[in-house]
Amino acid sequence: MVFSSIPFLFFFFPIFLIFYYIMPKRWKNYILLLFSLVFYAWGEPVYILLMIFASAVDYGNGLLMTKFGDTKKKRKIFLLFSVFINLSMLGFFKYADFFIETINQIGNLSIKPLGLGLPIGISFFTFQTMSYSIDLYKKEVEVEKNYFTYLTYVSMFPQLIAGPIVRFSTVREELHHREITRDGFSDGLLRFMQGLFKKVLIANNMGALWENIRGLSYGTISVTTAWLGAISFTLQLYFDFSAYSDMAIGMGKMLGFHYLENFNYPLIAKSVTDFWRRWHISLSTWFRDYIYIPLGGNRVGIGKHLRNIAVVWFLTGLWHGAAWNFILWGVYYGILLTLEKYVWGKKLAKLPAFFQHIYAIWIVVFGFTIFVFDDMGKLGEYLTFLFGIAKNPIFGTEILYYLMNYGVLLIVAVLLSAPIYPWLQKKIEQIQTKRKKDVIKAICAVCYIALFLLTTAYLVGDTYNPFLYFRF
């Protein structure tokens, strides 16, 4: 079950909300927990036991760390145990077959892969449980004594399978005491619908364009069409990922939780550094706080700083998937961030904003071309299309077809990747007369209803609706 589906929108979520709101406060966590377990078991009936096991280990480990960890050395023992268990689970289910296949290729062996299915969201909930243990070790958060409360935190369906990565410290107080208000529900509902529209109407259509282009035969794809494909995938990825974060944040507000923002218009970035301050913020800050800074961050010599960047970006690439292209993608960004830091970053900052933006976008689009192909042979082939190495033409008639069919949507996607909506909100807030505000609110309400009906029509029609988080 995914958020952008008829069963979730018209059955699961409305039924959940009814039970959630009619129950007294002391029962709300249990209702949220029950429905979260049902939500996860809908697609992962067996692996739900894995998530419960992971949460039980870190919950118990947290109690032991608090009771017996009177010194930093003792707390480290419990921390290492937590990290070992979580990374072992993640490594076994997500990377075992990747390592086996790599060994087979290197050693010309024929070890049979395990063929394990990847538990959905395992990369997210293992990182959440590890952050809890690490924060306890550093005494930055109080231990949770109620297991069901802790399990509710780990399993919350609004953000379990697609992020953002929510740290226990962010929601601890709200797990025990939260206010559910009419304004919070209204704001949350609007935010959820924004994410739903982005996912179904923009991301899915950009994905359909990308699938059409990548499916073209070797001799029929021009350089411009290949770049159009790379751009369409970049837009699909941004609107898909940010849409799920929007929906998670929106549902959180409807339930009384306040998750941190996860995307801040990354496609308006003026550098690679700026891009990663805006893209998947919960993940980049996780690696910064729990890997980069403990290694010494940038408060070390150049040699160690280069090592720290290399380690973080190798792990960032590997986190995204068990394939060599993800590692290459991570290394790619590690090198570029290093070059910005030590070679051309200051010169770049002196250029006009337009050229800074073009530089950043080109790097991002090319980077996501690496990201999308887990088959290195197909990646190499597509790169020959991008740069005309395959002796393919610069222009082809096929690009006119795609621009005629997707041109308007491409323009809308590009515009909405910029902070137009916050700008409009600010302008509306500046309106002084109540009558004008009421008229604008009425128009917005009509637009939301129309977009929701259009979204529903798309979903009922069983159109292209991929779930990109299966690899996480």
Q: How many CA atoms lie within 13 A of 230 on its CB side?
A: 25
CA angle 417, 420, 424 (to 5 degrees): 160
77 phi/psi in degrees, rounded to 5: -60, -45
Rounded CA-CA distance 213/166 in Å is 36
C-alpha torsion angle, residues 434, 435, 440, 444 (rounded to 10): 90
Rounded CA-CA distance 440/304 in Å is 55
Rounded CA-CA distance 44/40 in Å is 6
Angle, helices 420-430 vs 397-416, to 10°: value is: 40
- Which helix H or strand E contains 132, and what residues bound it? helix 122-137
Rounded CA-CA distance 12/75 in Å is 41
Alpha helices in 288-375 (DSSP H): 302-320, 324-339, 345-350, 353-372
71 phi/psi in degrees, rounded to 5: -120, 160
Measure Cα distances from 391 to 365, 387, 388, 462 in Å: 22, 9, 5, 38
Residues in the chain: 472
- Two tokens, residue 238: 């941004």
CA angle 258, 260, 263 (to 5 degrees): 135
- Two tokens, residue 445: 């309400």
Do 160 and 124 touch, CB atoms closer than 8 A?
yes
DSSP string, 263-313: ---GGG-SSHHHHHHHSSHHHHHHHIIIIITTTTTTSS-HHHHHHHHHHHH
Q: Is 121 left (phi over 0), alpha (psi -120 to 50) or beta?
A: left
Measure Cα distances from 359 to 71, 124, 284, 385, 419 in Å: 50, 31, 21, 20, 19
Q: Which positions are annotated as active-site residues?
A: 320
C-alpha torsion angle, residues 173, 178, 184, 190 (rounded to 10): 70
184 phi/psi in degrees, rounded to 5: -60, -45
Q: Select from 162, 192, 194, 315 the least CA-distant residue to 254.
A: 192
